[in-house]
Amino acid sequence: MTVYIDADACPVSRIAERVAKEHALPVVLLCDTNHVLDSDYSTVKVIGAGADAVDIALINLCHRGDIVITQDYGVAAMALGKGAKAIHQSGKIYTDDNISGLLESRHIAKVQRRKSKNHLKGPAKRTAEDDKNFERSFRQLIEQALMQSE
């Protein structure tokens, strides 16, 4: 089992590395050339800039039983389709039961943005509680994955 992180602007990379290290799980951080990262624990893969280049590389690398951390619902859907587990940086665990609704919501929001000349607010500022929620859910997801692999 490997943890793959869609690491471009991912606020939970260090939390995920720390938790994965406790379980001796390898971590791969994927970023484009605009977000070069370094890590003492993870393997860092810098992917050429380009629309969806990191997303495509991540999906090509992940396999059944891996864990993917991404805020992109499309990436999460593809990871689930390959039998991987997926989690959002908020701690929301993507499942076969919720991914269709999330994709539909994303589509509706995109249509609304195109229609509106007013800009919508961005996400609320990240809090320490958000980090705790992510860590709790990530630990739960790892435990589930380890039990399933036995």
Buried b (16+ CB within 10 A) or exposed e, 101-126: ebeeeeeeeeeeeeeeeeeeeeeeee
Query: pTM score, two decimals?
Result: 0.86
Q: How confident is the model at residue 39 (pLDDT cuts 50, 70, 90)?
A: very high
- Is the pLDDT score of 97 beyond 60? yes
For the chain, give the mean pLDDT.
88
Number of domains observed in the structure of the chain: 1
Q: Which residue has the higher pLDDT, 96 or 134?
A: 134
The CATH number that applies at residue 134 is 3.40.50
Domain that holds residue 10: 3-149
